[in-house]
Amino acid sequence: MIEAWLVLVTVAPLLAALIAVLSRSARAAEYGNLAAAIVCLAAAIWLAVHVDGARTFIAGYVLFDALGAWTLVCTCAVYFLASIYAVGYMRLLKEEAARLPGFYALFALFAATMISGPLMNNIGVYWIAIELTTLVSTFLVGFERGQESIEAAWKYIIVVSAGISLALLGTVLFYWAGSLVIGPTYDMTWDALRRAAPGMSPSLTQMAFLLVLVGYGTKAGLAPMHTWLPDAHSEGPAPVSAMLSGALLNTAMLGVARFLTITDAASPSRLPRVVLVVFGAFSLLVAALFIVRQQGIKRLMAYSSVEHMGILALGFGFGGPLAIAAVLYHMLNHSLNKSLMFFGAGNAMRLYGTKDVDGIRDVWQRLPVSGALWLAGAVAITGAPPFGLFLSELTLMRAGLATSNAWAVIVLLILLVVIFVGFLNHFRKMYLLSRGAEKNEVNDTTQIAVSAWMTLPMWLALAPVFVFGVWWPQELWQFFATVAGDLGGGTR
């Protein structure tokens, strides 16, 4: 039964892409993609509910475990929300309607590559899956064909490919370290390397992990390898930005977490975790500095993604059941919340005809419903109560204080306050200042209709973020404990 659901979750977006290509109809493409997203989310939830230990399929190339199942839920949730939003958002590009089937084909293929990543059991094939996400999403980042979007697409593929090349080198070193224990030829599975890790060279595995961390950390948007992220998130269409931030970054962080378990088993040294914590703290610092001074609305959301990837890095670096539970809870809440934020940004950009904070005013009056949802999302994304990110960050701090890296908790707390003030100050300007209050005035000639397609996914994203802020289901605690056990569960 599990095999059938795994086939369904991977094949559905491929079928949607095929429908878009063959039909050449914008309506068939968008509804085919939406149907695939619904199927994927239903399949991912079913798989997460029925996960029972790690299982492999297709000659050991496919791995189904609790961590992979959770990442699938996050990915498919964002794919579902972004597919709803894309229907309304992309229809506004009336002059480019002929290009919409191509967009949805790429959009579905992007989802398929991100879905396949968590299921890859071979470390080399996992690298291929991550590289495929880059190749497909590059065309989505540059879809609008403007000078800035084309530049962002080139920057994205160059920077990320350079990082992924380092991840490939780290993968080769892991294979080499394993060959000295197992033999020159073996299956490069996560489990095979974990079992061989106690006999592997500590120095070699640590070097390999650092290369993998930099490589996949580039893809995940950790500072200082994050330079592609603000441009790509800013220039891609809003549904694509939601997929990049809410789904793609998690898929890359999953690889870091899996490689960390191998490194832990190979050496008692705390160095890999300390380095991961340092990367996380530095990402928070960079995000805080740029959020305070940022003027581009989608770039503001992008630096928020750098912040939250830094929080995930801190959690994986802390280790232990409580930290892992906080990380996984944070992962889902961030995926939902950040999708909402990019949807709100897309609505504002279409209405006001600008990407700048200074060009957006009187949001309360011009976007009464989606504007209220967007503001609630802004409060939530900064980690304020009573939303899910507050609960996950609070849990992460509790976990971090019990480790030897407790200093990072102090850094986290200070920078979260800075980010809260800086982020919401931008929203204060957009909501409370009137037109003409500053030099840039709103362009009243811009008129669009924010359809239900563009508002419904914001409701669907905000509701669980609020529920998860006041109620942490006991079943999730048990699920997270399973993941922590799979990842070693030790605190360093």
Greatest mean pLDDT among 401-405, 407-411, 448-452: 407-411
Q: What is the mean pLDDT of the chain?
A: 91
> Residue 96's pLDDT is what?
67
Q: Is the pLDDT of residue 80 over 60?
A: yes
Q: What is the pTM of this model?
A: 0.94
Q: Other C-beta atoms within 10 Å of 23: how many?
A: 15
Q: Is the pLDDT of residue 491 over 50?
A: no
Query: Contact 409/279 with Cβ under 8 angstroms?
Result: no
> Residue 438's pLDDT is what?
45
Mean pLDDT confidence for 270-276: 93
- Tens-place pLDDT, residues 126-158: 999 999 999 999 999 999 888 888 999 999 999
Question: pLDDT category, 473, cuts 50, 70, 90?
Answer: confident
Residues 6+ apart with CB under 8 A from 201: 177, 180, 266
Q: Is the pLDDT of residue 64 over 80?
A: yes
Q: Other C-beta atoms within 10 Å of 270: how many?
A: 16
Q: Other C-beta atoms within 10 Å of 354: how many?
A: 17
Q: Hey, is 63 helix, strand or coil?
A: strand
> Residue 267's pLDDT is what?
85
- 62 phi, psi to nearest 5 deg: -110, 130
| Segment among 86-95, 342-351, 471-480 with least mean pLDDT | 86-95
- Tens-place pLDDT, residues 35-58: 999 999 999 999 999 998 889 898
Of the candidates 321, 328, 271, the residue with the CA atom closest to the CA atom of residue 489: 321
> Residue 255's pLDDT is what?
94
Mean pLDDT confidence for 312-320: 94
**Torsion of Cα atoms, 322 then 419 then 258 then 213, to 10°:** -140
Of the candidates 128, 118, 123, the residue with the CA atom closest to the CA atom of residue 196: 123
Amino acid at 465: V
> Residue 435's pLDDT is what?
59
Q: Other C-beta atoms within 10 Å of 46: how many?
A: 16
Q: Where are the alpha helices (DSSP H) in 294-402?
A: 297-318, 321-352, 363-366, 368-381, 388-401
Percent of the chain whose predicted confidence (pLDDT) is above 90: 77
Higher pLDDT, 265 or 490: 265
Q: Hey, is 189 helix, strand or coil?
A: strand
> Residue 436's pLDDT is what?
53
Burial class of residue 336 (count of CB atoms within 10 Å of its CB; 0-12, 13-18, 19+) = buried
Q: Give the 3-state DSSP-derived string for 418-464, with helices as H, strands as E and coil as C.
A: HHHHHHHHHHHHHHHCCCCCCCCCCCCCCCCCCCHHHHHHHHHHHHH
> Residue 95's pLDDT is what?
54
Determine the number of helices (DSSP H) and then strands (DSSP E) in the chain. Answer: 20, 2
Say how many residues make up the chain.
492
Instruction: Sketch the domain layout of the chain as residue ranges.
Output: 270-492
